[in-house]
């Protein structure tokens, strides 16, 4: 899994920087830009037909009475007959209503654009990820649980591609942030191996010279970040009971009885034939 993450950190940014992805992304951006420009152009054409000019500025859009394509000065406007001024004022109000409808439409178009970009992003990621994970699936095809886990990893990587992309392609809902508590940390793809018996021969033999509750049952560590304590599955640490499982655990009985909660935790674990990693605030039940 560590090797897979390293490969994904290289393969996915490369896929996002490819000419094909950039051209498809640009096509989507241009499509929605043209849609917006067309809507404003049509509204401007309607205004001109009714002797009104639509003025677009950085601070917004305004309408002004016009004659022969030129904006009327205040003096020229006041010189118009009252009926003409009333007609122009009514026209401007109608155009303002049409403008408000158009402005309400823009956020929906932006959401649609982001959705299209997200689909494009996932399509690019799906192509890059599938080949890499397929190699792992072939290696572990005899282990259905592992294959199922890899299927879930593939879907998760596709869904959280911005964690690998590290570029403007990241969705606004998932802003980039440094440190452990990134919206989607790559730590989620690590494997926390509690006990490794690779190469071991026979049953394990473990001597615990300091049999505290945590040393026996294991613990969940925390990290301080931004004034809060955070944790995840990679911070779960095993105890002596985990390391001795299936074998022998040697303890100093007097030392065991001196430790708060340790004796009760050991008895309950042995009677229940189950290990629980819990904090001292809620010791093994």
Mind listing the pLDDT tens digit of every residue in the chain (285 residues)? Answer: 888 888 888 888 888 888 988 999 999 999 999 999 999 999 988 888 888 888 887 777 888 888 877 888 888 878 888 888 888 889 888 988 998 999 999 999 999 999 998 888 888 888 888 988 998 999 999 999 999 999 999 999 888 876 665 543 333 333 333 333 344 577 888 899 999 988 888 999 999 999 999 999 999 998 888 888 888 898 999 999 999 999 999 999 999 999 999 999 999 999 999 998 887 765 544
Do 12 and 161 meet the contact criterion of CB atoms below 8 Å apart?
yes
Q: How far apart are CA 65 and CA 54, in angstroms?
A: 9
Do 269 and 275 meet the contact criterion of CB atoms below 8 Å apart?
yes
Predicted TM-score (pTM) of this structure: 0.61
Cα angle 122, 110, 162; round to 5: 30
Q: How far apart are CA 229 and CA 222, in angstroms?
A: 6
pLDDT of residue 215: 95
pLDDT of residue 200: 86
Distances in Å between the alpha carbon of 17 and those of 10, 87, 161? 11, 55, 14
- 193 — phi, psi (to 5°)? -85, 110
Do 206 and 264 meet the contact criterion of CB atoms below 8 Å apart?
no
Alpha helices in the chain (DSSP H): 2-16, 19-49, 74-79, 82-139, 144-159, 162-165, 213-217, 240-244, 253-258, 262-272
Do 103 and 41 meet the contact criterion of CB atoms below 8 Å apart?
no
pLDDT of residue 179: 37
Residue 61: partners with Cβ closer than 8 Å, 6 or more residues away: 40, 54, 55, 99
Question: How would you classify residue 51: left for phi > 0, otherwise alpha for psi between -120 and 50, otherwise beta?
Answer: left
* Strand partners for 163: none
pLDDT of residue 164: 67
Q: How far apart are CA 81 and CA 93, in angstroms?
A: 19
Question: How would you classify residue 88: left for phi > 0, otherwise alpha for psi between -120 and 50, otherwise beta?
Answer: alpha
- 250 — phi, psi (to 5°)? -105, 125
pLDDT of residue 177: 36
Alpha helices in 50-140 (DSSP H): 74-79, 82-139
Q: How far apart are CA 208 and CA 185, in angstroms?
A: 35
């Amino acid at each position: 899994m560590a090797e897979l993450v390293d490969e994904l950190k290289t393969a996915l940014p490369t896929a996002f920087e490819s000419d094909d992805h950039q051209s498809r992304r640009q096509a989507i951006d241009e499509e929605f830009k043209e849609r917006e420009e067309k809507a404003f152009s049509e509204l401007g054409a309607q205004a001109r037909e009714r002797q009104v000019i639509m003025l677009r500025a950085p601070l917004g859009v305004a309408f002004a009475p016009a004659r022969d394509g030129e904006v009327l000065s205040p003096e020229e406007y006041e010189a118009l007959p009252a009926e003409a001024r009333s007609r122009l004022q009514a026209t401007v109000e109608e155009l303002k209503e049409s403008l408000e409808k158009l402005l309400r439409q823009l956020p929906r178009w932006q959401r649609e654009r982001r959705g299209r970009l997200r689909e494009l992003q996932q399509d690019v990621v799906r192509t890059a990820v599938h080949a890499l994970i397929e190699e792992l699936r072939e290696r572990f095809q005899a282990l259905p649980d592992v294959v199922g886990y890899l299927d879930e990893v593939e879907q998760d990587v596709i869904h959280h591609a911005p964690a690998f992309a590290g570029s403007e392609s990241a969705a606004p809902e998932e802003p980039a942030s440094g440190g452990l508590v990134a919206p989607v940390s790559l730590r989620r793809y690590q494997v926390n191996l509690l006990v490794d018996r690779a190469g071991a021969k026979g049953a394990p033999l473990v001597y615990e010279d300091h049999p505290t509750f945590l040393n026996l049952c294991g613990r969940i560590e925390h990290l301080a970040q931004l004034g809060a304590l955070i944790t995840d599955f990679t911070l779960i640490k095993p105890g002596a009971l985990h390391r001795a499982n299936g074998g022998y655990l040697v303890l100093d009985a007097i030392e065991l009885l001196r430790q708060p909660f340790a004796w009760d935790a050991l008895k309950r674990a042995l009677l229940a034939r189950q290990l629980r990693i819990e904090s001292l605030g809620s010791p093994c039940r």
